[in-house]
Amino acid sequence: MFEEMIVANKSVISLLNSAYRFKVGQQLQTLPSFTKFLTPKDSHSCISINCYQQQNYITSLDKNMHCLINRNKTSILSKAMSEQSSENLHVNYYDIVKAQKDENILIIDVRENYEIEETGKLPGSVHIPMHEVTNSLLSLTNKEFEKKFNRQKPVHDTKIILSCKSGRRSAMTQLDVQKLGYKNVHNYLGGWLDWESHQKN
């Protein structure tokens, strides 16, 4: 995925560099071929640039083109690095089994209260509903957190594993927790459904 994005980005840059070298007065016919790589806002900007017909707009045209190149390059690289990072922060059933025996790892079940009432929380985890996770990590003192969940409050390098029913909500919570500065946050792919399926086998 990362390599494909870089190739796409190079193609965009090549087309942009060729486009702004067209003579003033000519329509930039090549622009539509790369607008699929840009945001709607950027695409609109490209359409506006087509209308520049006078000599005193050449400098502005050149500046706008380079602006689009840099903006698109940053967007593609950022997305690629984000996806690459997330791929390395997933755990499976067997990782969960090991984590349940390690007191240094904090497992958080982020499902809602009614779900926990139906199935019970994931063994070895503390239950903090999805919408309360970030607030608990931000607002509770170490003593308050330990009193409420019977576990030490995690520090920024503590390994945290998040679980929900299928792995979707915990993935969203993973991003929220990472924004708080916790870098070792993992998502249990499959969540409770995966755990339950292994118990039946």
Reply yes or no on whether 67 is catalytic. Answer: no
Cα dihedral: 5, 11, 14, 17 (round 10): -70
Contact between 183 and 158 (Cβ < 8 Å)? no
3-class secondary-structure state, position 106: strand
Identified catalytic residue from 46, 51, 67, 164: 164
3-class secondary-structure state, position 147: helix
Backbone dihedral angles phi then psi of residue 92, each to the nearest 5 degrees: -115, -170
- Amino acid type, 79: K
Catalytic residues: 164
